Structures are given as structure tokens and as C-alpha cells.
A and B are shown apart, each in its own frame.
Chain A
Amino acid sequence: MTPTLSDLAVGQDIGSSTVVVTRTDLVKYAGASGDFNPIHWNETFATSVGLPGVIAHGMFTMGSAVQLVTDWAGDPAAVVDFQTRFTKPVPVSDTTGTAEAGAVIEVSGAIGAIDADKGTARVDLTVTCAGLKVLMKAQAVVRLA
């Protein structure tokens, strides 16, 4: 069931999701996006530039977090504006060959604002990894009927 603007209220929760990330996921994202920066797949390189280890692409985190909004809205094209700041890296440990997660990203969303004239609602996302907020001002504006 797709949400309608008149049924929404500021502060209302839209739900939550959990994104399990492995090193394989980062390699897949690198290939799909064309972003082959070695900090996202090579431990030696990542530590040599002062990172704790291999980190997820900020755009992987941003792109996977918005699925909560897309699924809630019922149409990926409903997301007309989406922005975030990347505040903390998401370190992904090497669990290759096991069933363990390399990192777990928790996403939740709530209605931050409603613009009845434009027919849009702003969903504010809270995105954390290991208890730290990894995205700030993660806001998706959604056009709804």
C-alpha cells in the first residue's frame, strides 16, 4: 500500500532496515559504480593512507540506505531529491569465506517535513554503524499522491 500525503504527520516513523555488508559487496559496488578507489578493497592501501582499514564507499551507504524510502514510497521515481553528508567511515572487516558480516548498517526513517503545495514529504534517515552516525542530514524528498 502506497502512502498518501494527507495521511502523514511530521515525526511519523516509516520503518527501519538493516544492511549487512561484506568485502564482496564493496567489490560489487566498485564494479557497478566505476569507483575503484583502493581504499574500498585493499587493506594495505587503506591503512597506508591513515584509515582503520577498508571502508565502504560513502555512495554505497547512501545508495543502500535509501531503499527503505523507495520501498515505503512504492516507486523508486518518487524520490525527487536526496542528499547527505558523509561524517564517519564504515569500516568493513574481512570475513571472506565465512558467513559473518563485515559491517552492519542500521537505517531508520521518519517524516521530517510535509509540503502540501508541492505534494512532497521529506524523510529524514538515521544511518548508523556500530552505534555511530555515519550519515548526517540524510534527507530524501518524496513526491506522493
Chain B
Amino acid sequence: MQLETPLWKRVVVWAAVLVGLILAAPNLFYSRVETHNDAASAIAKAEKLGGAATPDQTAALAVWPAWAPSGLVNLGLDLRGGAHLLAEVKLADVYKQRMDAFWPDARDALKEVRDATGPVKRKPSPDGTLRITLTNPEGMPAALAKLQGLTANVVSLTGAGQKDMDIVADGGDIVITLSDAEKAATDTRTMQQSLEIIRRRVDAAGTREPSIQRQGADRILIEVPGIGSAEELKAIIGTTAKLTFNTVIGQGSDKAANPGVGNLLLPAADQQGLYYTVEEAPVVTGDDLVDAQPSFDQNGRPAVSFRFDTSGARKFGEYTGAHVGEPFAIVLDKQVISAPTIQTAITGGSGIITGNFTVEGSTNLAVLLRAGALPAEMTFLEERTVGPELGQDSIDAGQIAAITGMVLVGVFMQASYGIFGFFANITLVISMGIIFGILSMIGGTLTLPGIAGLVLTIGTAVDANVLVYERIREELRHAKTAARAIELGYERATSAIVDANVTTLITSIVLYFFGAGPVRGFAVALFIGIITSVFTALFVTRLIIQVWFNWRKPKTLIV
């Protein structure tokens, strides 16, 4: 009696195995393929910018053939070394900026109804609200109507048709806040901008494969392999780099001085004990910049030169034209870098920031200004750094553990099931190969717990085979023919195999959503491991047994 499987099924199974193993192959030449991949992405980047590959890059590209698959299993931060940061974006910062920026507009608009309202004044209020007092409360309806005219419709899918600001009368005051719909739309924008700016800054720092993801409503997870420490990473992305040009109202040495409503008291960056009072609403901001470059001033000191876009240039030109002889402040992240006096109207749209810079400092500032300011401040909730040495130790230890585990399991299977154990061992090696193939294909990340997941899979991978073999033994006891016993063994063990593994699949899915970083790597390894080991046990081992059975045609079967 022959064991039969349709040809198409055999072809599909062997093809799947072959594809899996081919995809896994590059991992055997890890550093070589990695050099190739790095060169390929560097060349692609250079060509996008109109450049060409350097000889070094071409040489690096050639270490691995272009036709061969080049997908690799990514190593997680705990294996490669690198930094992991969880940042929280202070979304409310933006509400405050919006309200502060709205005050000059509101003031100008209310001037037109001054006859009815009398002079208006901004009153102190919590961040994110604007409170305006009217001298004549009788003018309230006119004032409200005027301010309503300044509101716009919210631009978002969910908030369509709603106004961007809530303007209400509270006694003789007008209280203005962002509407909920506008807050939601603003939050989305703030997060997108923050992500984009962090990405630009990390890219500018030139590290490999950074991962920058939004998490939840106001968080960003940043993972950068190969960076020395979380501090270094924070220095790159933690700086807001908010550049503004503000009107100077006064200066002094009292750090507790009351700047007055709508003004700010800011320290000078290069002079201890000097404080400037500046108008909070800036004349122009870093958003209006189109370029910033490190340079030197006329005295040869490091400086940063910049260029405004058209609207920025116009605003700056108008302002400097109207305020010749007055000082203005160049403010970076709430510190006054310098406060030069305006000599003449600056209409060309470009200028230079001088201050107490080092060459490195001016280069960094230029990078930050080019990448743009973060729309809101960030705080860091979680930081993890792993050095490359520890990562390498973990890889070594994991490898030893995995090989030992495989050998021990292999010996046990051989001793318990003889030739059938040997078949199970072949499939075990194949399934490990396929797991690496799938991980490489989907760009999965291997972490230290992920290695543990693979080792656990070694144990469970043979489980499905054990279930089948035990079942075949039982069926043999009932004196069936050998071929029938094998078929029944597979048939009757399948439901137990599937049920037992679906539960582990459920666990790995929960783990994936529950964990981040290393734990997630474990979940992925476990998930792929289960699918692969069930596939190989049910199909690959079976085909191997079939080939053997049809070739040797054993009269009696000893499992």
C-alpha cells in the first residue's frame, strides 16, 4: 500500500519550504548583507538628491549579489544596542500659542467698535484662554459680533461646520477658548508636525533605521539603533528650537520683575543676571524661515545666517522699517540669544544671528532651525539605552542557548521515536529556517525575549510531531496496517494540534498589543513560530514520512 498526496499539494508544500529557506539564507551572511543594504540605501538617497555613488559605496554594494534576496532579520535595540525614548507632547502648549497669537488680532478688531466698548484690556487668565475686559460692558454685543467675524470654520472631517473658537461673554469680560473640534484638529496637526520634525532631526543625525511612531493621543516612541545613549538622542530631539523675533520693552536684572500681561521676562543666554522684557506675541518666527546655515559674523565668530520666506521677509521688513533705533530680541527656546538695535529697515529677507556660539553650537542650531521647531514642548516618560557590548553578549548567550536546546531536543526525539524522531528533527531545522525567512520577509525584529520565544518554539515545534507519533502508536496497537495507522494518526491528532496551538496564538496576539520593544519581538517570534511549526509538522514531516514509507515499504512499523 502506498501513501498518496496529490501532486499539487506536494508542490505547494515543498515550494513554501524552499521559499522560506531562501529568504532565510541572507541571515547566514549577516554583516555582508548588511553592508550591501546600507550601501544600497545610501546610494538611493544620493541619487535622489542628484548625486552619484562613491567608489566606496559601489564596492560595498558589490559584496552581496544584487539578484539574491537581501532581507534580514532586524536586531532589536536590546541586541544591537541603541536608545529607546517615549516622549509626551504637551499638546496644551499649542492652545496657549494660538490664544496668545489671537490677542493682537482681537485687539485690532475691537478698535473698530471702540466707541461702543471703550478701551479693552487683556486680563490674566489660565493658559489657553484669552480674557478681554471691556470698559463699557454695554458694548458687549458689538464686540462679540466683531470677534465672531474673526472665527473660521474648523478644517477637519469630524469637526466640519463648527467654529474654531468659543467666544462667550462673562460679565464685562469676553472669554475666548479654542472649540473642542478645533482642539482635536490642532492635536492631530501638532502630533503630525512633531513626528515629522523628530524624523527630520534624527535623519540629519544620520543613524540607521530609526523608528519613530505615534503612540496613543499624545505620545511618540522613538527607537534609534546604534546611538550611544538616550542623553545624546534627547539632545537632538528634546530641544524645541523655537526661534522668535520679539519686540523688546525693557531690560533689567530683577528676575522676579512683573513683565505685565502679554509680555514675557526672558533671561539673556550669554549674560548671567540680565533679563529682557519682551512682547509675548512675536513679530516673526522660525516658521517663516526657509533656510539656515552656520556661518561667521564680521568679527569671525561663529553665527547662524538665515533667510525668510516672502511673507516673513515682508513682515520683518515692515517691522524693522517702523522701529529703526529700537532693539529687538532674537529668542530661542525662551532665552534671548541677542538683542541688537535695528539700524535700518531690513528688507532683503535675510539676516544673521550672533551670540556666544561655538562652531558646533552654530552648526547644531542651523540643523534645528532648518528642520523646524517642535510645535510643542516634550517630556520624556521612559528612556532605555543598551550598549552594543551588552547586546553582543546577549546574542552570543542566546545562540548558545538555542543550539543547546536544539541538540538536546534532537537527541530526545531520536531516542524516543527512532527514525521518526529523525524526521521530526529535520523538520525542526526546516521550521527554524522558515521562521527566519518569514521574519526577514516582513522585516520583523528579533529581540532577546524573541530568541527565548524561538527557543520555546523549538520545544513546542516537536510537540505536534509528538502528538501525531503517539497517536500512530496507538493506532498501531489496534492492529491496523502500517499505512492506515499513519493516516489515522495524522487525521485524529489534527484537532488536538489545532486547538492546542490556537490558544497560544491568542496569547501571542495579546502580547503583541500589550508590549512594546522586546516583548513585542517575543510575540512576533512566538506567533510565526507556532504557525510555522504546525505547518511543518502537519505537512512537511508527513511528506517526508510518505517518501520514506513508499521507498522502504516497511511491513511493520515501529514508531
Question: Do A and B assemble together?
Answer: no
